[in-house]
């Protein structure tokens, strides 16, 4: 017979260690912070050693906690995998993919019908959200993420790289000039980045690289990328944006890039929990995504898959 501490105590420790927060663990497990703290104290009492160092502002794992956490995380991943397989048997091969609203709208959704035609037996659910989903606990199989790798030990595959350059609409009512000077004093469009921890491309950086005084220009911000792209297409002004989002519009003449430098962007990456790769739909979907990205990158210059 296996001699194990109570499962609730193990679950509380794994959730707190993964989130590096008792509060986040409590929210995930639908219990109070006091309950999480009590369960972890109970586990520490059973093994006779501390698993967390507690301070008023944060909790950090002890050396023993760091050693114990990976094994428990893998164990819970395998529990999830076993129940995923039961779910597959009852509901067929279906996966859920999460990505930003802008990427879902501009890149994924226009291509998704090709996947369903190639694999009619596989179903795909799409969640468009800028919130970072924890794939280990959510009912979500695949994430297409943008920015720096999260370092959360998910399996990660490169999808697309991008650059940033100012782009304008060419339709009726638009200035449609490739010179940034022709957009003074009108607004330059920008949007708020949800991930404040990365050094994102900005108009100030682009104007400095282009040798233009930034005090000559006025910014108008929009709270999310997808709305900023709609504003761009309706001629509200130039938008400094990802080449992945506008390459097709530039190619067909609806949009035009301004003269000047490119700013380095980031990478779109496919992420999933390694133990779930056995789910057939995930393998088929990730292979299809990379094939589509390779074709896209070869068609539109300046991109690399």
Contact 273, 77 (CB under 8 A): yes
Q: Which CATH number fits domain 7-88: 1.10.10.10, 3.30.450.20, 3.20.20.30, 1.10.3720.10?
A: 1.10.10.10
Q: What is the CATH number of domain 93-159+267-299?
A: 3.40.190.10
Q: Which of 148, 150, 124, 123 is CA-nearest to residue 135?
A: 150
Predicted confidence at residue 90, as pLDDT, reads: 41
Predicted confidence at residue 295, as pLDDT, reads: 93
Return averaged pLDDT per consecutive 10 residues of the chain, 305 residues in all. 79 87 85 90 90 84 89 77 57 81 95 94 90 77 79 73 94 78 89 81 94 86 94 94 94 93 93 71 91 91 47
For CATH 3.40.190.10, list the domain ranges present in the chain. Answer: 93-159+267-299, 161-265
For CATH 1.10.10.10, list the domain ranges present in the chain. Answer: 7-88
Predicted confidence at residue 117, as pLDDT, reads: 94
Alpha carbon separation from 133 to 142, 188, 225, 272 (Å, rounded) = 10, 31, 18, 11
Predicted confidence at residue 80, as pLDDT, reads: 67
Q: Which CATH superfamily is domain 161-265 in?
A: Periplasmic binding protein-like II (3.40.190.10)
Predicted confidence at residue 89, as pLDDT, reads: 46
User: What is the pTM assigned to this prediction?
Assistant: 0.70
- Backbone CA torsion sign across 8, 80, 103, 126: negative
Predicted confidence at residue 55, as pLDDT, reads: 82
């Amino acid at each position: 017979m296996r001699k194990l501490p109570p499962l609730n105590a193990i679950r509380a420790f794994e959730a707190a260690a993964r989130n590096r927060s008792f509060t986040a663990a409590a929210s995930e497990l639908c219990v109070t912070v006091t309950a999480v703290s009590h369960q972890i104290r109970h586990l520490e009492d059973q093994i006779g050693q501390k698993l967390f160092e507690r301070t008023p502002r944060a909790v950090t794992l002890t050396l023993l906690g760091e050693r114990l956490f990976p094994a428990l995380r893998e164990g819970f991943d395998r529990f999830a995998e076993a129940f995923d397989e039961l779910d597959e048997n009852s509901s067929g091969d279906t996966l859920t993919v999460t990505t930003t609203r802008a990427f879902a709208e501009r890149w994924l959704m226009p291509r998704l019908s090709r996947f369903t035609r190639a694999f009619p037996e596989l179903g795909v659910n799409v969640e468009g959200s800028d919130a970072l989903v924890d794939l280990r606990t959510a009912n979500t199989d695949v994430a297409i993420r943008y920015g720096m790798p999260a370092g959360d030990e998910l399996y990660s595959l490169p999808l697309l790289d991008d650059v940033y350059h100012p782009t304008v609409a060419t339709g009726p009512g638009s200035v449609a000039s490739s010179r940034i000077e022709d957009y003074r004093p009108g607004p330059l469009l920008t949007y708020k980045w949800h991930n404040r921890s990365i050094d994102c491309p900005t108009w100030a950086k682009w104007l400095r690289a282009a040798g233009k005084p930034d005090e000559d220009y006025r910014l108008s911000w929009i709270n999310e990328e997808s709305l900023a792209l709609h504003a761009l297409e309706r001629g509200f002004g130039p938008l400094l944006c990802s080449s992945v989002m506008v390459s097709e519009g530039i190619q067909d003449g609806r949009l035009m890039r301004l003269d000047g430098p490119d700013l380095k962007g980031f990478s779109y990456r496919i992420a999933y929990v390694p133990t779930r790769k056995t789910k057939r739909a995930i393998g088929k979907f990730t292979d299809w995504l990379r094939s589509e990205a390779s074709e896209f990158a070869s068609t539109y210059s300046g991109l690399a898959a």
